[in-house]
Structure 1
Amino acid sequence: MLLDTRLPIHRAVGLLIAFGILSTLSACTQAETATSPRAAAASPKIGYVTLRPQPVAIQSDTAGRVVALRTAEIRPQVGGVVMERVFEPGCEVKQGDLLFRLDPKPFEAQLAAAEATLAKASAALPSVQAKAERYANLSASTVISQQDKEDAQALFLQTKADIAAAEAAVETARINLGYAEIRAPIDGIIGTTNVDIGTLLTAGQAASLATIRQLDPIYVDLTESSSNLLRRQAALEEGAFVSAFGNAAASPQVTLKLPGGTIYGETGTLEARDRFVSESTSTFTVRARFPNPDLTLLPGQYVRASIEIGSDDEGFLVPQRAVSRNSKGEATASFLTGDDMIETRIIETYTDVGGEWLVTGGVAEGDRLVVDGFQKIQPGARVSPVEVELDGNGVVRTPDAAGSTALLETSSPGLASALVAKAQD
C-alpha cells in the first residue's frame, strides 16, 4: 500500500504505527481464537456450592392477631345517676379499684326499708312461737280445738318465712348499694369512655361504660391451614424430623415479626391448640402467650410468627435462588456431574428456612449445586465451575470475599478503535 506523499511526514509515521498495531492485535486475536479453550469449547464459568447435611430447626411461618389476655366490658348492675368518675382513660387499674360512683341515696333507702321489714318480722316471732308451743302442749286436752292448734303452728312457720324473706331483701338492698360503686373486675389498661358526671345509667344496658384489657402477658392467635397440618403429620410418621411437641418439658418456642419487619424481642410459648378445623376457612388456630412488659403488642395488631415444630439433625438446605419449577410444578435444580457437565434433577422441598429450602429428596452429601450463571448453561453442557459462597442476603461471592463471580471481559475491537483514534490525533 502506497502512502500519500502529500501527507506530512509525522502523520505518515503515525499511520504506519497504527496499522502495525492493528496487524499485531489481529494476529493475537486469531491465535487466541485458535488456542483458547473458552472460545473453542464455549465452556462458561458458573458458580456452585457443595451441599453438606447440617442440623436444621424446622419452623412454620404463619399470620396471627394479637388478643388481650383478659377483657372486661364494664356495665352497670343497677340504674342510677353518675356522681363521680374516678379513673382517667388509658391508665392502668387494679382489680377492685373504684371506677364510677352512682348516687347512693335510693339504695340506702331501700336497705333501710328492708331492714325495717326484717325487724318487724323478727319482733313477731317470739309471740307466735310461744303460742304454737303452748297449743302443742295442750294436745291431750279438749280446751282448744285441733283447728286452733294448726292455725298457731301455721302462723309460727309463716313468721319464720317472713323473717327469711326480709333477710334476703336486706341482702339484696345491701348488694345494690354496693353496685352503686362500680369497680374494676380485673387488672389491666382501661380504655376511653363517654360516661361522665350526670349520666343516667340503666341496669344491664347494652353499651359498656369502658373496657379493661389485660396486656401483660398477652395472647397471639395464629392460623394454620389444615393441609400443612396433614403434611407435617405425614412427615413425622415417616421420621423426616423430630417433633418439638413431643417434649412436654420444653414447649415449642414462637417468635414474632411486627409490622414493618421488626423482630419482637420476647419469645413466646404455645398455650393451646384447637382440636377442630374451621369449615369456612379450612384452618385451625394455635394460641401463643408472650410477655409484653413494654406494651409493644396491642390487641388487634397483625403479626407474623414462626413456630418451632421440629428439627432435622441431617437436613440439606438449598438456596432458593437455585430452585425453579418445571411445567408440572415440580421443584428442580441444576447440579454438576463428575466431568463438570450440567444435569437437572427434581428435588423435594419441604419448607422454607429463611432464604433457603429444606430439601428432603433428590440431593446427597457432596453434590455440587449451581447457584450462579444460570443464563449461560443448559442440561448436558460442559462448564468451568468455580466454588463460591452465598452471604446472608443470598449474594454470590468468592470464598475470599473478593467480590462477585460475574465475569468481566475486555472488548478487543473497542481497544483497537481507541488506538486508531489516538494515532490520527
Structure 2
Amino acid sequence: MRAITGVSPRLGAVLAGLALLSACGSQQQPAPPPPAVDVVTVTPGAVASVIELPGRVQAVRTAEVRSRVDGIVERRMYEEGTDVGADRPLFRIDPRQNQAAYNSSAAALSRAEAGAANARAVVGRYAPLVKQQAISNQEYDAAVASARQAEADVASARAALDRAKLDLNYTLVTSPIAGRAGRAQVTEGALVSAASATLMTTVEQLDPVYVNFSQSSSELLQVRRRMATGEIKAANLDRVRVTLILEDGTVYAPAGHLDFLDMSVDESTGTVSLRAEFPNKQRLLLPGQFVRARVEAGINSNGILVPQRAVQVSGQGASVMVVGANNIAVARPVKVGDLQGGSWVVNEGLKAGDRVIVNGLQKVRPGQPVTIAKPATPGAKPASAR
C-alpha cells in the first residue's frame, strides 16, 4: 500500500483500525445450533371414548298443583321448599259452599230413592190386578215405565252426589306426587277458580333427576359406525355410563346412565336428543342447572393420547410439531377429541411411532432441524389404565 503523505501518525492508526474492523465484518457469522426439544413417541393403547356435551338438569316428575274448585283459600298447610309425601295436604279452600252443595245432592238422592220405592210398590200392586183384568194393560205399562224412570232419577241423583263429594274433597288440595314443594303462588284469602285452573304451587321429584343434552347427528353416526366396525367396544349398550362436570368444574361423584335416545333428528338444529338419569340424594343437582355430561361410549383399543402442552389450538384447528426425517420439525394438523387428564385424545393426524415435540416448541420453526434432548419416550399412559 502506498503511504499516505501529509497525514499524522495518530490519524493513520485510526484509519488502519477502521480497515481492520471492516475486514472482520465481512466474514460470515456461524449458524446457531439446532434447538433442543423433548419428544414423546406415539404409542396407541386402550383409551376411553368420551363424548362431552352441555346439558340441563330436569326433575324426573313435575306436578303443577292447581285449583279444581272455586273458592277462597283458607290456609296453607305446608312449609315452602320442604319435601312432601304423596297425598300430603297443601292448601285448604273454604269448603262451606261445597258442603252445602253436597247436602243438597244427598237430599235429592233421598227424594229420588223415595219416589223409586213408591213406583216399585205401585208396580207390585198392579201386577196381580192386571192378571185378573181388574186394570188395563196400559195402566200397568205406565206404572212400570214410571218405576223405571224413578230408578233412573235415583242413578242421576247418586251421580250428582258423587260429583258433589268430589268437589268437597277438592277443597283439601293435596300433592299428587312425593317431592319438594315450591313457593306458594297464592296466599290465604285469595280467590281460586276451577275454570282458569289457578296455579297454587309446584312439586318436583328431585331424586333421581334427568339431564337432557343433544348430540350432532353426524357425530352420533360416526360413533355408531366405529362401534359397528369394532374400533370402539362398549361393555353394555343398555346402560351407557355418564358422568357430570358441575358449573364450578368439579366432578359430580355419583355416576349416571343413558336412559333415553330420541329416534328422530331435530330439523332446525340437526341434533338428536339424549337423556341421562342420576341419583340425587344430597340435592346437589337442581332443575335448570347447567352441567357438562361426559358420555363414555366405550373403549378404543388403538387410541392415541398426546400431552396437552404439545397441542397448539387456533382458529384453523389443532396441530402438533413432529420430528420427521433427518430431525426436521414438521407441523402436523390433527383432529382432537376430549381432554382426559392432562392429555388430548387425537382421533386423526398421528400414527404409531410419530415423535411429537412436547418441550421447546417456542424455539422450533417448521422445516428447521432440531436436536432431541431426551430419548424418545412412550406416550402418556391412557386414562383407562391409570
- TM-score greater than 0.5 by the shorter chain: yes
Q: CA deviation at 1:344?
A: 4.7
Residue 21 of structure 2 aligns with which residue?
none
SS of the residue corresponding to residue 84 of structure 1 reads: strand
Asked if 1:44 is matched to 2:35, the reply is yes
* 8 Å CA contact 1:244, 1:308 repeated in 2: no
Residue 87 of structure 1 aligns with which residue?
78
Q: CA deviation at 1:391?
A: 12
SS of the residue corresponding to residue 335 of structure 1 reads: strand
Quick one: which of 304, 307, 323 aligns to 1:336?
323
Quick one: which of 310, 333, 337 aligns to 1:322?
310
In 1: Cα distance, 2:49 partner to 2:357 partner: 24
Residue 281 of structure 1 aligns with which residue?
269
Asked if 1:185 is matched to 2:159, the reply is no
In 2: Cα distance, 1:305 partner to 1:154 partner: 71
Residues 360/279 of structure 1: CA separation in 2 closer, same or farther (3 Å cut): closer
Residue 121 of structure 2 aligns with which residue?
130
SS of the residue corresponding to residue 265 of structure 1 reads: strand
Residue 167 of structure 2 aligns with which residue?
176
Q: CA deviation at 1:386?
A: 2.2
Residue 257 of structure 2 aligns with which residue?
269
Residue 190 of structure 2 aligns with which residue?
199
SS of the residue corresponding to residue 211 of structure 2 reads: strand
Residues 389/100 of structure 1: CA separation in 2 closer, same or farther (3 Å cut): farther
In 1: Cα distance, 2:112 partner to 2:48 partner: 76
* 8 Å CA contact 1:244, 1:309 repeated in 2: no
Q: CA deviation at 1:319?
A: 3.2
* 8 Å CA contact 1:125, 1:160 repeated in 2: yes
In 1: Cα distance, 2:195 partner to 2:175 partner: 16
> Is 211-220 or 357-366 further displaced after alignment?
357-366
Q: CA deviation at 1:151?
A: 0.6
* 8 Å CA contact 1:273, 1:285 repeated in 2: yes
In 1: Cα distance, 2:288 partner to 2:89 partner: 27
In 2: Cα distance, 1:330 partner to 1:192 partner: 48
> Is 81-90 or 70-79 further displaced after alignment?
81-90
Q: Aligned AA for 2:323?
A: L
Residues 361/68 of structure 1: CA separation in 2 closer, same or farther (3 Å cut): closer
* 8 Å CA contact 1:82, 1:101 repeated in 2: yes
SS of the residue corresponding to residue 143 of structure 2 reads: helix
> Is 382-391 or 139-148 further displaced after alignment?
382-391
Residues 80/389 of structure 1: CA separation in 2 closer, same or farther (3 Å cut): farther
* 8 Å CA contact 1:53, 1:314 repeated in 2: yes
* 8 Å CA contact 1:245, 1:309 repeated in 2: no
Asked if 1:365 is matched to 2:349, the reply is no
* 8 Å CA contact 2:337, 2:347 repeated in 1: no
* 8 Å CA contact 1:75, 1:204 repeated in 2: no
> Is 87-96 or 133-142 further displaced after alignment?
133-142
Asked if 1:65 is matched to 2:53, the reply is no
Asked if 1:384 is matched to 2:371, the reply is yes
SS of the residue corresponding to residue 280 of structure 2 reads: coil
Q: CA deviation at 1:60?
A: 0.6
User: Structure 2 length as normaliser, TM-score?
Assistant: 0.81
SS of the residue corresponding to residue 142 of structure 2 reads: helix
Residue 211 of structure 1 aligns with which residue?
202
In 2: Cα distance, 1:79 partner to 1:61 partner: 50
Asked if 1:118 is matched to 2:105, the reply is no
Residues 81/242 of structure 1: CA separation in 2 closer, same or farther (3 Å cut): same
In 2: Cα distance, 1:146 partner to 1:172 partner: 39
Residue 7 of structure 2 aligns with which residue?
none
SS of the residue corresponding to residue 222 of structure 2 reads: helix
In 2: Cα distance, 1:326 partner to 1:74 partner: 52
SS of the residue corresponding to residue 252 of structure 2 reads: coil
User: Structure 1 length as normaliser, TM-score?
Assistant: 0.74
Residues 206/80 of structure 1: CA separation in 2 closer, same or farther (3 Å cut): closer
1:382-421 → structure 2 map (5 Å cutoff) = 382-387=369-374
Residues 80/271 of structure 1: CA separation in 2 closer, same or farther (3 Å cut): same
In 2: Cα distance, 1:216 partner to 1:325 partner: 40
* 8 Å CA contact 2:180, 2:203 repeated in 1: yes
In 1: Cα distance, 2:132 partner to 2:149 partner: 26
* 8 Å CA contact 1:254, 1:288 repeated in 2: yes
* 8 Å CA contact 1:125, 1:159 repeated in 2: yes
Residues 343/104 of structure 1: CA separation in 2 closer, same or farther (3 Å cut): closer
Q: CA deviation at 1:40?
A: 5.6
**Percentage of identical aligned residues:** 37
Residues 331/193 of structure 1: CA separation in 2 closer, same or farther (3 Å cut): closer
SS of the residue corresponding to residue 253 of structure 2 reads: coil
* 8 Å CA contact 1:190, 1:211 repeated in 2: yes
Q: CA deviation at 1:103?
A: 1.7
Asked if 1:234 is matched to 2:232, the reply is no
Q: CA deviation at 1:207?
A: 3.8
Residues 93/207 of structure 1: CA separation in 2 closer, same or farther (3 Å cut): same
Residues 240/324 of structure 1: CA separation in 2 closer, same or farther (3 Å cut): farther
In 2: Cα distance, 1:324 partner to 1:160 partner: 88
In 2: Cα distance, 1:275 partner to 1:109 partner: 54
* 8 Å CA contact 1:75, 1:209 repeated in 2: yes
Q: CA deviation at 1:74?
A: 1.2
Quick one: which of 343, 353, 357 aligns to 2:339?
353
Quick one: which of 225, 248, 260 aligns to 2:248?
260
In 1: Cα distance, 2:317 partner to 2:61 partner: 46
Q: Aligned AA for 2:305?
A: L
In 1: Cα distance, 2:379 partner to 2:79 partner: 52
Q: CA deviation at 1:390?
A: 11
Q: How many residues align?
A: 351
In 2: Cα distance, 1:105 partner to 1:391 partner: 79
* 8 Å CA contact 2:43, 2:379 repeated in 1: no
Residues 216/303 of structure 1: CA separation in 2 closer, same or farther (3 Å cut): same
In 1: Cα distance, 2:379 partner to 2:39 partner: 14
